[in-house]
């Protein structure tokens, strides 16, 4: 029995060594601040390509969901090139473009974590690449407030009926459950998975149990399969590309000065400057009154979708499709006194606080259900290894006293309580905004026409149907 084990280990070590030799070099892109384009850091680089899967590989680390990225690739001085973007393996690109006859191509996206790129084409073909990474943008902006002049109050329409209990105004701030996690639920499900794997082992299914155990461990380790190569990536160092074949000197990318960009690269920079000039004035505190922070958030969401659908599923969305607008008369009143503006800002800030609270909890819910679902699927697979494991898993799921069922109930109870608190707090602030509109601008039905539909939309979005 000892000899086969040694053979397996030797084979495994040889496989690891081969994988190390086969991994490409990833050059780290580090955009730098500059004055030409507002709110954006820039990296300009160029070089020559390798063909096919070899290509030239890059990494753009530590991205945040509120940092839009633009990538421009030019091949106007040579044959067409391909640019792909991926998060795990180049064989699974999430975005892919080709410079084609046009001689250039662009990618725009948002992502969380590290994104990798590969530029490939005929060996020795030249390219220029420009990477714009925005500094973090306030995606919550000024809520959904728009100037009152942009809407027509439905004076002739019948006022919506107030839902039961909405006449009561809660004075308490929303309960702080935005940072809650389902650690106990996840640990409970992991324990169940391990118990099911143990059943498989006891029934002699050691091979299958080992595979499932490895599947459980890999997500917990959390390393990219190419992390070894990325850790050594740099613009000043190189390593073996394929076995003992060194990277050709001409493949090493170099930084490009602004004046040395190709005509298409220069046009891209000028276009980017125009795009970002339109939102730079809305970045900061002043935006709460001039209402351009909302324009910045809308600009980002309109032009920069999430590269990875998994990111989109678990990232905050403060402007979901169909959200009713909240008009504010003060946005049409440039002569409003300072104290009135301060009063408006305080109420708007409370509405924004409630929205952040509700969306934050909602994201935690989605993230937790996604993670718990993956572990549950693994346990289901393990249970299928034997009728004994299936029986044990079925009984554990049906037992309300099982630890993960108890933890799940507590989690959902905390989520429901936190969201109800946030909705009550939001309703309080919306009614105060209605009073503000009536007091200064004569909009006596503001809450019925605008505040209440907004609250009903948020209730439908953030309260679970099971509640």
Residue recorded with tokens 């709460």: 288
Q: What pLDDT score does 293 carry?
A: 44
Residue 24, C-beta contacts closer than 8 angstroms, at least 6 positions apart: 54, 55, 57, 229, 241
Q: Ranked by mean pLDDT, which of 44-53, 112-121, 283-292, 377-386 comes out on top?
A: 112-121
Total residues found in the chain within this entry: 467
Q: Ranked by mean pLDDT, which of 131-140, 182-191, 207-216 comes out on top?
A: 131-140
Tell me 159's DSSP state. P
Lowest mean pLDDT among 133-137, 208-212, 395-399: 208-212
Phi, psi angles (nearest 5°) of residue 14 = -65, -40
Nearest to 84 by CA among 53, 58, 117, 51: 117
Query: Is the entire prediction scored with pTM above 0.75?
Result: no
Degrees to nearest 5, angle at CA 237 with 228 and 42: 90
pLDDT band at residue 140 using 50, 70 and 90 as cut-offs: low
CB 380 within 8 A of CB 392: no
| pLDDT tens-place string over residues 113-134 | 899 999 998 888 899 999 999 9
- Mean pLDDT, range 321-337, rounded to an integer: 88
Q: Please, what are the domains in the chain? A: 2-136+229-259 (2.60.120.10), 145-221+282-462 (no CATH)
| pLDDT tens-place string over residues 38-79 | 889 999 999 988 776 678 999 999 998 888 999 999 987 678
The pLDDT mean for the chain works out to: 74
Lowest mean pLDDT among 174-183, 290-299, 383-392, 398-407: 174-183
Cα 345 from chain centre: 29
């Amino acid at each position: 029995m000892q000899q086969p084990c040694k053979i397996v280990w030797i084979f495994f070590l040889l496989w690891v060594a081969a994988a190390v030799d086969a991994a490409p070099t990833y050059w780290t892109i580090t955009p730098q601040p500059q004055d030409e384009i507002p709110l954006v850091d820039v990296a300009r680089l160029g070089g020559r390509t390798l063909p096919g899967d070899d290509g030239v590989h890059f990494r753009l680390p530590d991205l945040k969901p509120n940092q839009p990225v633009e990538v421009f690739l030019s091949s106007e001085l040579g044959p067409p090139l391909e640019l792909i973007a991926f998060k795990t393996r180049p064989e699974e690109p999430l975005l892919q473009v080709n410079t084609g006859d046009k001689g250039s191509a662009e990618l725009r996206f948002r992502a969380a974590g590290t994104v990798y790129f590969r530029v490939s084409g005929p060996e020795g073909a030249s390219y220029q690449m420009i990477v714009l990474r925005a500094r973090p943008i306030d995606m919550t902006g000024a809520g959904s407030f728009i100037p009152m002049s942009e809407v027509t109050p439905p004076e002739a329409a019948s006022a919506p009926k107030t839902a039961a209990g909405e006449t009561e105004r809660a004075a308490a701030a929303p309960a702080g459950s935005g940072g809650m996690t389902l650690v106990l639920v996840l640990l409970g499900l992991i324990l169940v998975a391990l118990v099911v794997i143990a059943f498989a082992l006891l029934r002699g299914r050691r091979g299958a149990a080992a595979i499932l155990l490895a599947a459980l461990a890999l997500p917990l380790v959390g390393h990219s399969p190419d992390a070894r190569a990325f850790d050594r990536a740099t613009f000043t160092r190189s390593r073996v590309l394929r076995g003992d074949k060194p990277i050709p000197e001409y493949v090493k990318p170099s930084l490009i000065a602004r004046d040395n960009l190709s005509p298409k690269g220069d046009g891209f920079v000028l276009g980017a400057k125009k795009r970002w000039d339109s939102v730079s004035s809305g970045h900061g505190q002043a935006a709460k009154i001039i209402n351009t922070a909302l324009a910045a958030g809308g600009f980002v969401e309109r032009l920069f979708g999430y590269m990875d659908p998994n990111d989109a599923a678990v990232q905050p969305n403060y402007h979901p499709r169909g959200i009713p607008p909240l008009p504010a008369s003060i946005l049409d009143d440039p002569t409003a006194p300072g104290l009135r503006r301060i009063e408006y800002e305080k109420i708007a800030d409370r509405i924004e606080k409630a929205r952040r609270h509700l969306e934050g909890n909602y994201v935690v819910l989605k993230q937790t259900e996604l993670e718990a679902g993956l572990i549950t699927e693994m346990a289901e697979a393990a249970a299928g290894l034997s009728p004994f494991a299936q029986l044990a898993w079925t009984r554990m799921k049906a037992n309300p006293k099982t630890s993960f069922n108890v933890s799940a109930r507590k989690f959902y109870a905390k989520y429901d309580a936190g969201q109800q608190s946030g909705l009550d707090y939001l309703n309080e602030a919306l009614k105060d905004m209605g009073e503000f509109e009536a007091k200064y601008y004569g909009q006596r039905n503001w809450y019925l026409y605008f505040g209440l539909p907004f609250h009903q939309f948020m209730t439908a979005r953030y309260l679970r149907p099971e509640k």
